[in-house]
Homo-oligomer: A and B are copies of this chain.
Amino acid sequence: MRVIVAGERDACKSHGVYRLEGCLRTIKAGKVETHANPVFSADEGAILRIDADGGFANAAFELGAPRLVERAHELGMAALVINDCTHFSALWPEIEALTDKGVAAMAMCPSYASVAPSGGTAPLLGTNPFAFGWPRKDQPPYVFDFATSVAARGEIELHRQAGKPLPEGWAIDREGNPTTDPAAALEGAMLPFGSHKGSAISTMIELLAGVMIGDLTSPEALEALGTTTLAPAHGELILAFDPTRFANGRPGDPFERAETLFEAIAGQGARLPSQRRFAARKKSLTEGIELSAEEWSMLERLKEKGLAAV
């Protein structure tokens, strides 16, 4: 719930209350362990490993994060592997939990096969989110979190629900032809961002956060579930870096030097990532969160009928 509320607070609709139905559908289908008990399954060198016990990834992350930060301080860098989790949330809440503790962090995971590799014609890669954060003093971190598809699947879902056509270049249909119809896109394949470069990064995520950590790749996750309407089961890889250990006493404090870079970016009128989200957060924290009539009626329906409503 915390990450869904955080999504609404930050006006990040594609990870807001709309996700509730998907989570409940996944529970109803018996595809997530609701009484999961995540545990540390290994801890060697720079790699911490949590078995999420088939539950949502969030509880596993919360268990692993403190030790990940500690290990990053100790060795300079550490990895948290989450295995056997069900994933529905954005990665930025995890990244921000780590930057709040003073480490830089990178996170990635597969999803399910819904994106065609560059030059391909059929879904194979996931929307494979890639996120990174850098701590900033007395203000929200530098953080980005994006799908390696041109758009997030959630955005295409929202277009479908709103009956709006997609921008060109987002997707191909089942025959591999370009389409702007969200329903045809969901049946066909999305396209990677930045053509072959985004496709390469998405493939890297399948390798590092799927194959390498011994968990499902996006095509395997789809095969295991047989549908894209439930939250996917796979693993996740999170890396944490201690900037002070990496700087090793060389001239210039890394956190201050980062501010110089951020000022130079903002100074020429370019926007740092997540600024719209942070502005929405500021507003939500004073004025509260607004939900649409449709969202309220969905919540009422779910409250009344529970799993029978999904």
Contacts and interface: CB of A to CB of B under 8 A. Distances in A.
Interface of A: 42, 44-47, 49, 74-79, 81, 83, 104, 106, 116-122, 124, 130, 132, 134, 142, 144, 146, 148, 193-194, 196-201, 203-204, 206-208, 210-215, 217, 219, 239, 241, 243, 245-252, 254, 257-258, 261, 264-265, 268-271, 273
Given A130-B201, A142-B203, 6 more contacts: A45-B75, A132-B201, A144-B204, A207-B258, A212-B246, A214-B251
Given A124-B268, A217-B261, A268-B121, A44 B211 contact: no
Count of chain copies = 2
B45 A203 contact: no
A45 B245 contact: yes
Contacts of A261: 203, 206-207, 210-211, 217, 219
B76 A212 contact: no
A77 B74 contact: no
Nearest to A194: B194
10 contacts: A45-B46, A45-B74, A45-B77, A46-B77, A76-B79, A104-B212, A119-B271, A194-B197, A214-B251, A217-B257
Contacts of A46: 45-46, 75-78
A124 B265 contact: yes
B75 A268 contact: no
Interface centre among A47, A121, A252 (most CB of B within 10 A): A47
A101 B65 CA distance: 31
Contacts of A130: 201
B208 A241 contact: yes
Nearest to A144: B200
B273 A81 contact: no
A305 B224 CA distance: 66
Contact of A117 (B194, B206, B219, B265): B265
Contacts of A251: 214
Nearest to A77: B46
A79 B77 contact: yes
Nearest to A258: B211
B245 A215 contact: no
A200 B264 contact: no
Contacts of A250: 83, 213-215
A248 B132 contact: no
B200 A246 contact: no
A112 to B, nearest CB: 14
A208 B242 CA distance: 10
B246 A81 contact: yes
A217 B259 CA distance: 12
